[in-house]
Structure formats: C-alpha cells, structure tokens
Structure 1
C-alpha cells in the first residue's frame, strides 16, 4: 500500500470541538423499556481512551454498538446545520451520540484505514456508522435514520491502536492515509445503495482496516451474488 506522507496533511485542518460521553438510559416514548447510550454530554477534563472506549462512556446494545472496532464514534459538525433545518431545532454537542464532534472529517474527506493522532492516543477509521432507529426516537423524527443513510452523512468509527489520555484541547491530526482506500461516503454507497455492485464490494473487502462486522456482512452478500 502506498501511503500519502504526513506532510501533505494541512496542519490545523482537523480539530476536536467536543468529547462526549454518556451512560445507557431508557429512551422515552417506548412501549417497552429500551436502553440507549445515545444521549451524551461534553466533558471539560481529559479522560482515558482504552481499546474499547472512553472512560465514562458505555453502550446498551453491545451487539450493534461498541467493541474494539467501534470504540469511538465520530461526527463532523458541518453536518449539523442541515439536520437542524430538517428537524427544526438547535442541536448541542454530541447530538447524534458521537464521542467526538469534530471539524475537517466529513465522509468525503475520511478514508477507511486513515490513522489519526488524538491526544496521547492513536486511532484508525474502521467503518462508517450505521444509523439506527434510536436517532429518530431521540428527536421524534422517525425518518432521521433514513436521511443519514441516504445522504451518506453517517459519521464513522475509530478503533484504538494506541491507548492514551484525550481531552477537549487534545491535538487531533491525520498522520496516515492511503489514496487507494475508500472514503466513508463511497463505502456507505456500496453498503446501502450499491448492493449489487460486485466490484465495489470486492474493493471494500480488500481494505485490511475494514471492521469485522462490515466484512462479514459484505462477504455474505458477495457469496449470494456470485451464486446466482
């Protein structure tokens, strides 16, 4: 793999606006209790980032959320304004349950496998976020997960390569990328709209950094397509 040198990454082009954590709580308006960690709040002091996530943060559904491949959820603040217009309300940091609210990391800019320095830690992009119904429940706008999916503006996950302390003022910069690897936006297209795109699926599967859960889903899909 041919990596783009760190020197091409413009200093200051990425930044952390907020680090957000939260504990599982019942979602309102449900017939049966549904716990979710989607409600997160910014922290003012540094905390420790381990291979499975940040101190003080937790997920309720450990089948679909959390784990080493999804240790940190990231969302670019530039997406907030269009969603504020959609749901007609002002949003606060961590509005979509992300651990990091950032700038300079849109789905067009970030590639699976990109490595970032985050405070004392190093993290790697593992997969796009897959929006679930809890986003719609939180804002009483059931079409919101569909908007995320169709726009491709889902955010993404980091796995942790090196544990360390992180905080709101932490240095945050991309230190490694590969122009051959796929952007988050293109990966979303293949997963959600290009389900018959065999070549696209193969290209996505060829990325070593792709998370295991996405890899298994795509392998099953490819097997069905090739058997028809």
Structure 2
C-alpha cells in the first residue's frame, strides 16, 4: 500500500537565481512532520501565482517517489527530494504513480479525505526554479507530472500515513492517460477516449476547458497540441 514519504509546505519568497533575476514563488517547499489540510490547501502553505495556482481544484499537489527519482536523474539535479522541493509538491508518495492513480480516486490519508481531480500542467516556474531550461519540456514529455487533489474532508496528514483507496469510479482514467490527451498532437487522439475524459465528472473544469480545445484541434486534424497554446489554469 502507498504511504506518505514526505510532507512539505512553504510561504512565498523572492527566490534569487544564478542569472541575477528573482522570482516570487513558494515552489521550494520544506519537509514538516505533518500538516492540517482543508478545502483551499494546507496550513502554513502558500502559492506565488494565485491566478494559476491554488484553489479548490489545486488544493494539494502530490508527486510519486518513482517520478521524482526519474526526473532528478534526467535533469541531473542535486538535492534531497524528501527534505526539499524543486517541483512544488506538498506530498511525496511511495508505490503509486501517474500510471496507477486515477481521476476520481478518493483516498483516506490520516484523518483527511481527498479526491484526485487533475494532472499537473507544468508552468515555466519549474524551469526557472531548477535553472535547467529543459525542465518543463522534460516533465511534459515524460508524463511525470504528478496530480492535484481536492479536499473532501478536512484533517491532518502526516509522514508515514497510508493512502487508503476508498473509491475508484473511473479506473480507466489514469493521470498518465489524461495528461497524454492534453500533451499529444491532437490528430493522434482517440475521440472516444477524449470524450470520456471530458465527461468525467471529477475532472477539474479548468482542465476540461483545455481538453475542449484539443477536441476542436482533433476535428481539424491538427498536428498541434493545446498544451502550450492555452493559458495556465
């Protein structure tokens, strides 16, 4: 059974980069033993860009241990992913990953109940934070994107807590599959699968809006993807 390997939070800070520039962000989260979570996120945690991050459908962000290890190796990053963060995750989990977690999954973790609602759509802050220009592109192309959850019941989540699967209404809608619907060239998509994803009730409305754009491109047999041609959400 999957369990929580790390819990992380951060407040917004001005992060100085090697080129002399600064970015206002809370992406570099630090490990804590436990955190109380609620509908809008985790106590002691904040986001820098409130237009594109945070809110009910991006309350908490999870990354798989396996995905972090792969990304760290691919990008040649030197840091302890259990203590620090380069990808902005609130929780690192064992066992589970983008291929095994599904949209609509409900998990009891500690005393909280959460529901998986969308893959992460990586923004350019990832590349700025790691100072590796190809970071965002690598995350998108590998599908090692992580997933957001909404909080259905407030509670406390601690390091070591198990992820107890309570409900899985859409076993075919893995995080990896839904990410692929947005990141692939539209003409390569299966319309039936795309339509099913759009009709998936727990999938965040913001994500669905971009899938609608993919559907339009598919109808045009476009070789483009909606991924890099729509605003962050």
**Shorter-chain-normalised TM-score: which range?**
0.7 to 0.9
User: Secondary structure of the equivalent of 2:186?
Assistant: coil
CA distance in 2, matches of 1:158, 1:182: 15
Question: What is residue 4 of structure 1 aligned with on the other side?
Answer: none
Determine the C-alpha separation between the residues in 2 that align with 1:87 and 1:131.
15
Q: Which residue of 2 aligns with 1:15?
A: 3
Paired residues in the alignment total 215
Distance in structure 2 (CA, Å) of the matches to 1:162 and 1:194: 38
SS in 1 for 2:74: helix
How does 1:1-228 map onto structure 2 within 5 Å? 13-29=1-17, 33-44=22-33, 46-92=34-80, 93=82, 94-178=85-169, 180-196=171-187, 197=189, 198-223=191-216, 225-226=218-219
Runs of 4+ in structure 1 over 6 Å off: none
Work out whether residues 113 and 181 of structure 1, in 8 Å CA contact, stay in contact via their aligned partners in 2. no
Structure 2 counterpart SS, 1:27: strand
Consecutive unaligned residues in structure 2, runs of 5 or more: 222-233
CA distance in 2, matches of 1:33, 1:89: 20
Flag the 1:169–1:192 CA change in 2: closer, same or farther, 3 A.
Answer: same
CA offset digits 1:192-215 (Å, max 9, x no partner): 114232333212101100001101
Q: C-alpha offsets along residues 34-93 of structure 1, whole Å, 9 cap, x if unaligned? A: 31110100102x331010100000001112111000101000111233223223233322
- The CA distance in 1 between the partners of 2:148 and 2:170, in whole Å, is 19
Equivalent-residue separation in structure 2 for 1:54 and 1:111 (angstroms): 22
SS in 1 for 2:149: strand
- The alpha-carbon deviation at position 132 of structure 1 amounts to 1.5
1:224 is displaced (CA, Å) by 5.5
Write the distance in 1 (CA, Å) between the matches of 2:148 and 2:57: 7
